[in-house]
Amino acid sequence: MIKYNFRKRWIIVGIIWAGVLILTCWNVNKVGPIVYNRIEDDIFMKDSQFWKYNAKNISKIMKNKKLICQPVESLKISLLSVENDLKLLASKYDLYGLKIDSSIGKASNGRMPINLVFYGPFEKALQWLRAVQDNYPYIPVGRIEISFNQGAKRAEYHILLYYRYEISSPKDMV
């Protein structure tokens, strides 16, 4: 009789634990997706708040991105235009002996090196560099070497510029 009561109690305890395990599995299966959806909703809400609060900054960044790469249809034509602009700017700042060395064969990943050599006073060269930076953000300066010739009493400038471009169709440029 004691064995019978003892077995009965163990069966009752086993049934209770089986019920607990079943309820736990059911709870996990029901609560898990709810928690996941709440986390996902929170992420979307924070993302929309971020876009809402930073819309002005994002639009400025997108405009600046457009400025650092010049959209071009033809690299050769745009390179001629850039070289002409650099020559006009050099003459405006009284820089002389301008030699431009650019090669389309050296262009890669939307970037092409342009080597410049010219002569002139330091102040004018500095003004020219500032004008290039201000007016042509898609032509950043890579390297500057300045040597002073005592005999001729003039400074010689060797400047490496990087022309950044993006090949696009005529529809994209409008």
Tokens found for residue 137? 């953000």
pLDDT at residue 155, rounded to an integer: 86
- CB burial of residue 125 (10 Å; 0-12, 13-18, 19+): buried
pTM of the complete model beyond 0.85: no
pLDDT at residue 174, rounded to an integer: 46
105-164 residue pLDDT tens = 777 778 889 999 999 888 888 999 999 988 888 888 989 999 887 776 778 899 999 988
23-65 residue pLDDT tens = 999 988 888 888 888 889 999 999 999 988 988 888 887 777 6
pLDDT at residue 127, rounded to an integer: 92
Inter-residue long-range contacts of 6-15, CB under 8 Å, 24+ positions, other chains counted = none
Tokens found for residue 118? 């010219």
CA dist 132 and 145 (Å) reads: 17
pLDDT higher than 90, residue 9: no
pLDDT at residue 170, rounded to an integer: 61
